[in-house]
Every structure is written in structure tokens, then in C-alpha cells.
Structure 1
Amino acid sequence: MKTYRDYDDLPKIKLPYGQEVSISDSTIRDGAQMPGIVVRSHHKVKIYEYLHRIGIEKLETFVYNERDRKAISLMQDMGYEFPEITGWARANPADIDMVLDVDGIEETGILMSVSDPHIFDKMGLPSREAAEEKYLEALQYAVDHGLRTRAHIEDMTRADNYNFVFPLIEKIIDIDPECTIRICDTIGYGVPFTGVDEPYGIPTIVRYLKEKINVKNIETHCHDDFGLAVPNSLAGYWHGANWSNVTFLGIGERSGNAEMEKLLLFLKRRIEGFDKYNLDCVAEFSRYMEKEIGIRIPRNKSVIGNNVFAHESGIHTAGVIKNPFTYEPYPPEIVGGKRNFLVGDSSGIEVLRFKVQETLNELMDVNIEIEKNDKRLRSIQADIQKLYNEDKRVSCISDEEILGYVKKYFMFNPMVRKEMHRDEDGEKEVKSEATPGIKPRMHDTID
């Protein structure tokens, strides 16, 4: 009989193809294009440091202006082997020359827009054939100058793949068999479901590239306009892709990109054999992005929101106090988080007892257990419920307020009752008895 009472009891999932998968980051390239924020050179360097601590394999960056090149130089000065710093270029020799001018960059992405709106309306090209010629010439130029390449197949999930894109990719692989083909779900139209044909079906596209064209390196780059960026990235891995391009917190244009932290957590905790990523700085990383760059993080955002390990309702808090596995999908320390119990309108006596006991222990520097039927505890509960019943309160009770209740009901109401009388020899004898409802632990002393 199987029993699942601890995190280690739960089985992990195996990738069907069993391939090694990796992550490339676009936080300081695509992510920096998020409207309303400015990612400066020192921000980029700090982001690079966090990515190194996590273990991300590659990072892509622009090289167009002095700020970009300054950040690259500062990152290179740190001497890290990973993430590998890679370039990004439009499909023309002039852009590729800018990448070549930066010492130390050995790989570049090349933008290849493949949907008709991009070819005809955005770029003003006369035909698909003209676009293909432009892209292949740029790729050949990069290869001839010694660069490894990634072909960014932009807007592939709104393109004519069978008649245009797949034949183009075959020619790309003829030029550079090691080229990473990036499936760009530019407007978020991709879906992770099997049985959905192109242009939308990520599983269909990945399998066609892998099985029909024999592409060695397949990468997804998914946008979140329909909320499917992470599911589509996972679907890519599930059907044979070996790379996913993401941003931290999912920042980027419009609704943003696939969120790195979600993908990392799923790989580390749910998929067999992915211990290479270190997530214990993720919470710290998110606080940096919020404070220094101004990214607003919803309280209920997966992995890094303030409420991820916060518990208020009676049933949940009672369960977590007894065994965190009851209502927490993974331990807080995995992502550098901290468990937090809150007292609010839905809280029961168990969480209040926990908070009062915790406050007393800190206040008196002793370990004390309070019984649930302690009259003072019930008095605090009544006071708090009165606030909510009379609609005087719309938020949780703060730790400072709990401290005030503890002082009112416990510190001004002696915890130890002292009885004094004389013994047979006339000497004064003192006997102490703990107040009902409080149990000092065996190793503690109450003065």
C-alpha cells in the first residue's frame, strides 16, 4: 500500500524522451522591453549574478548601445563560466558585426519573422521568398564568421509552417546542423495540447522538427497573452525540446514571457533528475526586482508571492502547524521563503494559540505551551472576532497587535500564582503553581 505523508513519499514524473534539458534567460533582453521599467547596467549585472547562483545555462542580451556593451563587460569581469553570455541580432550583416565586435561572445540569436503580417506589414518585404533569402544570408554570414547560432522563428504559431516555415528550417539546418531552432510563440497563440495541428499546437511543431527535420536543438520562447506560457514551455520539453527561453517573473512585452521561477520549481520538485538548479535565492531575487526595478508582484503569485507560505484560515493553519505537508506543496526554504501564520477573520483558535505562544516565548525567553481552553486566549479571540463582526477591521491582525493582546491578557495577569505560609519552624515557605492553561515544558524553569 502506498502512503503519501511527506514530500519524499511523492513519486516524480519522467520526461518521455529522457533528454537533458536546459534554460536560457532573456530577462535583460526581452524582459527589459517591459513597458514602464528601465533596466540599467548595474541591474543587469546583479541579475546575471542571481542567474549564476541559480545555475542558468545561457543569457541573451542586446549589443546595440554603450549601455549594453558596458553591462556585458561588467558581467564578463565576474569570471563566471555560466550563464554563457550570448548576443541577439536582426537578420542582417550589420547587426551580426555588432555581435562580433564584442569580445567573448561566441553565439548569437538571429531574428527570423515568419508570419505574413511580420513579413509584409512590419518588414515591408515583397514575398516570403525574399524573407527566406534574407534570413539564410544572415545565418550564413554568422556561421562564416565563427558564431554559433540560434534561429528565432518569430510568430511561428501564426505562420504557414508546412508550406513556408518547415522548408525554411530544413535549409537553416543544412547551413548549420547545430543551430538551435527557437519556436517563438510571439503572441501567445500556441497551445500545449496534443492532437492540435500547426500553427497552434506546440507538441505538433516540436515533434515535426525533431522527427521529420531531425533538428538537434529545439527551444521554446513563449509569451503569456493567453496565460499558457509555462504550460507551452513544459509541453515543449515533454515532446522533445531541450531548451526553454524564459524571463524571471515572466517580465516582458504585453503579458510577458514564461516565468523562469515556475518552470524551475516544476523541474526541480516534480521531474525526475533535475537537481542542478539552486532555487534558494529565488525569493531574494524577486525582492530585488521589486525594490530596484519596480516590478509589482501580486501577493498570490506562485513561488514568490507574499502569500505563498502564508496561512490564515482555521483548517489550513491547524493542518500546517501539525504537518506542513498537509497544505504546503513544497518547503519554503526550497525557494528561500518563510512560513507565516496570520490571524484574520477566518482564523481558528489553533493559529491564535500558536501566535500567542510564539509571542510569549520571544517576550519571556522561555518555551511555554498554552492550552486551547485558556480563558485569556479565548478572551483575545473574542476581542478579535468582535472587530470583524462589527466591520471595524478589513485586514489581518499584525504581530504588533498580537503582542499588545499578550501584554494585556498575559503579562498583566500573572502567569504564576505564588502561595506563601510559614512552615513548622516558623520559616517562610513559598510554593509556586503555574496558572491553569499553561504548561511549562519539562526542561524550562519559570521564575
Structure 2
Amino acid sequence: MKVYSDYDDLPKIKLPHNQEVFISDSTIRDGSQMPGIVMKPSHKLQIYEYLHEIGIEKLETFVFNERDRKAVYEMFDRGYEKPEITGWARSSEKDIDMVLDVDGIEETGLLMSVSDSHIFDKMGLPSREAAEEKYLNAIQYAVDHGLRTRVHIEDMTRADNYNFVYPMIEKILEIDPETTVRVCDTLGYGVPFPDVDEPYGLPSMINHLKNELGAINIETHIHDDFGLSLANSLAGYWYGANWSSLTFLGVGERAGNAEMEKLLLFLSQRVEGFEKYNLEPIADIANFIEKELDIRIPKNKAVVGKNIFAHESGIHSSGVIKNPFTYEPFKPETVGREREILVGESSGVGVLRHKVQEVLNELMDVNTEIDKNDPRLKKIQSEIQSLYDNEQRQSCISDEEIRSYVQKYFLYEPLVKNKPSKKEYYKENDENRGY
């Protein structure tokens, strides 16, 4: 019989292709396009530091203006091997020259929009053939000038892949066999189901690129308009992709991108072979982005929300106090967090006892055990419940309030209660003197 009573008991799944996989960050590039965000060079540099701490392999960045280039040069000054700093360009010689002008960048992304909406409406090109010619000329120019390439196949989940995109990618691979083919689900239309073909099926696309076209490097870049970005990014790995492009907190255009912190957590906790990433900085990164870029993080947001290790209800809190594995799927320290046991409307005596013991031990600097039937606990619980009953309290009881209750009932009250009255005092003294 299998027994799952601890984190180490749970098995990890295996990627069926057993390929080594990597992560490319786009927080600095795609994330900076999020409406309302102003990403200063200092912000980019700090994000770069966090990515280095985690062990992310690559990041991509714009180099179009002096602010972009200033951030890049400051990153290079750090002298880190990871993440590699890569450029990004539209498929034009002018953009590619901007990348070439930045000493140290050896790889660039190349934007190649492939849906008819982008080719005709956005770019105003006369035909698909004109688009193909433009893209092939761009990658040839980049390769001729010594750059490694990453072709950003934009809006592939709304394109005519078999008649246009796949034949073009064959020609791209002839120019640069080791290019990274980035499958871009630009509007989140993709689905992770294996039996869905074009234009939506991510598994079908990855299979075709890998098995039919022989692409060596395949990357997913998924937007979250339909909430499937993480599922599609994982499906990419599952069907043979070796890269995924992600952003922290999913920042980016419209609904954003696949969230790096979620994918990192899933890989490290649920899949074999991902001890290479250090997830401890995740809480610090989330706090930094929330404060510096003014992005509100919901308290219940997976991985980074402030409530994901906070427990209030009696049943949940009691279970976690006895064994955190009961209601916590991974340890708080994994992502740089700490567990919180909160006292609120739904908390029972067991939770209150735990909090009171914590405070009492801290105040008295000794380890104490309070009986769960201690009448003082009942008094504190009664006072707390009256706050919710009579004062329509809307929040949990703070640690400072718990401290006040402990002082009142466990420290001060016994002193007052045991002090003798004048009559008792004189009677006791008379007896001592033999009267």
C-alpha cells in the first residue's frame, strides 16, 4: 500500500522525451509593453539580478533607445554567465544593426508575423510571399553578421501553417539549422490537447516542427487571454519543446504571458530533474514588482500571493499545525515565504491555543503548554467572537491583539486575582503572630 504522508513520498512525473529544457525571460522585453508600466534601467537591472539568482538561462531585451542600452551595459558589467542577454528586432536590417551595435549580444530574436491579419492589415504587405521574402532576408542578414537567431513566429495559432508557415520555417532552418523556432500564441487561441490540429493545437505544432521539419530548438511564447498560457507552455515541454518564454507575474500586453513563477514551481516540485533552479528569490521578486511597478498582486494568487501560506479556518489551521503537508502542497521556504496561522471568525480553540502559546513563549522566554480546556482560552475566544458578532469586524485578529489578550488573561489577571484583600492580609498576619 502506498502511503503519501510527506512531501518526499510523492512521486515526480517525467517528461516523455527526456530532453533538457530551458527558460527564456521576457519580463524586461514583453513585460515592459504592459500598459501603465514604466520600466526604468534600475528596474531592469534588479530583475536581471533576480534572474541570475534563480538560474534562468536567457533574457531578451529591446535595444532601441539609450535607456534600453544603458540597462544592457549595466547588466554586462555584472559579469554573469546567466542569464545570457539577447536582443530583439523586427525583420529589418535597421533593427538588426541596432542589436549588432551593442557589444556583447550574440543572439537576437526576429519578429516574423505570419497570420493574414498581421501580414495584410498590420504590415500592409501585398502577399504572403512578400512577407516570406522579408523574413528570410532578415535572418540571412543576421546570420551573415554572426548572430545566433530566434525566430519569433507571431500569431501562429491564427495562421495557415501547412500552406505557408511550415514551408517558410523549412527555408529558415536551411539558413540557420540551430535557430530557435518560437511558437507564438499571440492571442491565446492555442490549446494543449493532443488531438487538435491547426491552427490551435500546440502539441500538433510542436510535433510537426520536431518530427517533420527537424527543428532542434523549439520554444513556446504563450499569451494568457483564455487562461491557458501555463498549460500550453507545459504542453510545449511535454511534446518536445526545449525552451519556454515567460514573464514574472505574467506581465505583458493585454492579459499578459505565461507566469514564470508558476512554471518554475511546477518543474521543481512536480517534474524530475529540475533541481537546477533556485526558487527562494520568488517572494522578493514579487514584492519588488508589486512595489516598484505598481502591480497589485491578489492575496490568493498562486505561488506569490500573501495568503497562500496563511491559514485561518479551524479545520485547515489545525491540520497544518499538526502536519503542514495536510494543507500545503509545498513548503513555504521553497519560494521564500513563511507560514502564517491567523485567528479570525472561523478559527477554533485549537488555533487560538497555538497562537497564545507562541506569544506566551515569546513573552516569558520559556516553552509552555496550555491545556485546550483552559478557561482563559474560552474567555479570549468569547471576546474575539463578540468583535465579529457586535462590531461587524471585517479582518483577522492581529498578532498585536493576540499579545494584548495574552497579557490580559495570562500575565496581568493572575497578579490581580491573587492579590489578597486588606481583611485577608491582616487576618493572615494576625495568624502568623499567634493572635
User: How many Å separate the matches in 1 of 2:350 and 2:302?
Assistant: 26
- What 5-or-longer segments of structure 1 have no aligned partner? 428-447
Matched, 1:81 2:81: yes
Report Cα offsets for 1:107-158 as digits up to 9, x if no partner: 0000000001100000000000000000000000000000000000000001
Which consecutive segments of 4 or more residues in structure 1 shift more than 3 A?
415-420
User: How many Å separate the matches in 2 of 1:149 and 1:340?
Assistant: 47
Counterpart of 2:366 in structure 1 is 366
Counterpart of 1:278 in structure 2 is 278
Report Cα offsets for 1:330-381 as digits up to 9, x if no partner: 0000000010011111111111111111111112221111111010101111
Counterpart of 1:334 in structure 2 is 334
- In the TM superposition, residue 418 of structure 1 has moved relative to its aligned partner by 10
* Secondary structure class of the residue paired with 2:369: strand
- In the TM superposition, residue 389 of structure 1 has moved relative to its aligned partner by 2.4
Counterpart of 2:184 in structure 1 is 184
Counterpart of 2:230 in structure 1 is 230
Distance change >3 Å, CA 183–CA 324, structure 1 → 2: same
Give the counterpart letter for 1:219 in structure 2: E
* Secondary structure class of the residue paired with 1:370: coil
Counterpart of 1:269 in structure 2 is 269
Give the counterpart letter for 1:316 in structure 2: H
* Secondary structure class of the residue paired with 1:13: coil
Distance change >3 Å, CA 371–CA 258, structure 1 → 2: same
Counterpart of 1:321 in structure 2 is 321
User: How many Å separate the matches in 2 of 1:246 and 1:72?
Assistant: 19
User: How many Å separate the matches in 2 of 1:356 and 1:201?
Assistant: 55
What RMSD over aligned residues (CA atoms) do the two structures have, in Å? 1.7
Counterpart of 2:379 in structure 1 is 379
Matched, 1:193 2:231: no
Matched, 1:344 2:344: yes
User: How many Å separate the matches in 1 of 2:371 and 2:258?
Assistant: 48
- In the TM superposition, residue 394 of structure 1 has moved relative to its aligned partner by 1.2
Give the counterpart letter for 1:46 in structure 2: Q
User: How many Å separate the matches in 2 of 1:347 and 1:233?
Assistant: 39
Counterpart of 2:43 in structure 1 is 43
Counterpart of 1:389 in structure 2 is 389
Report Cα offsets for 1:368-414 as digits up to 9, x if no partner: 11111010101111111122223521111111111121122112222
What TM-score, normalized by structure 1, do the two folds share?
0.93
* Secondary structure class of the residue paired with 2:285: helix
Matched, 1:253 2:248: no
* Secondary structure class of the residue paired with 2:396: coil
Aligned residue runs from structure 1 range 98-247, under 5 A: 98-247=98-247
User: How many Å separate the matches in 1 of 2:313 and 2:174?
Assistant: 60
Between 111-120 and 357-366, report the one with greater CA deviation: 357-366
* Secondary structure class of the residue paired with 2:288: helix
* Secondary structure class of the residue paired with 1:219: strand
User: How many Å separate the matches in 2 of 1:384 and 1:414?
Assistant: 20
User: How many Å separate the matches in 2 of 1:25 and 1:149?
Assistant: 16
Report Cα offsets for 1:222-269 as digits up to 9, x if no partner: 001011110000000000000000001110011100000000000000
User: How many Å separate the matches in 1 of 2:194 and 2:348?
Assistant: 45
User: How many Å separate the matches in 2 of 1:249 and 1:61?
Assistant: 17
* Secondary structure class of the residue paired with 1:164: helix
Between 308-317 and 394-403, report the one with greater CA deviation: 394-403
- In the TM superposition, residue 207 of structure 1 has moved relative to its aligned partner by 0.5
What TM-score, normalized by structure 2, do the two folds share?
0.95
User: How many Å separate the matches in 2 of 1:413 and 1:405?
Assistant: 10
Counterpart of 1:442 in structure 2 is none
Give the counterpart letter for 2:217 in structure 1: N
* Secondary structure class of the residue paired with 1:163: helix
Q: How many aligned positions are there?
A: 424
- In the TM superposition, residue 278 of structure 1 has moved relative to its aligned partner by 0.2
* Secondary structure class of the residue paired with 1:413: helix
Aligned residue runs from structure 1 range 407-422, under 5 A: 407-414=407-414
User: How many Å separate the matches in 2 of 1:363 and 1:249?
Assistant: 39
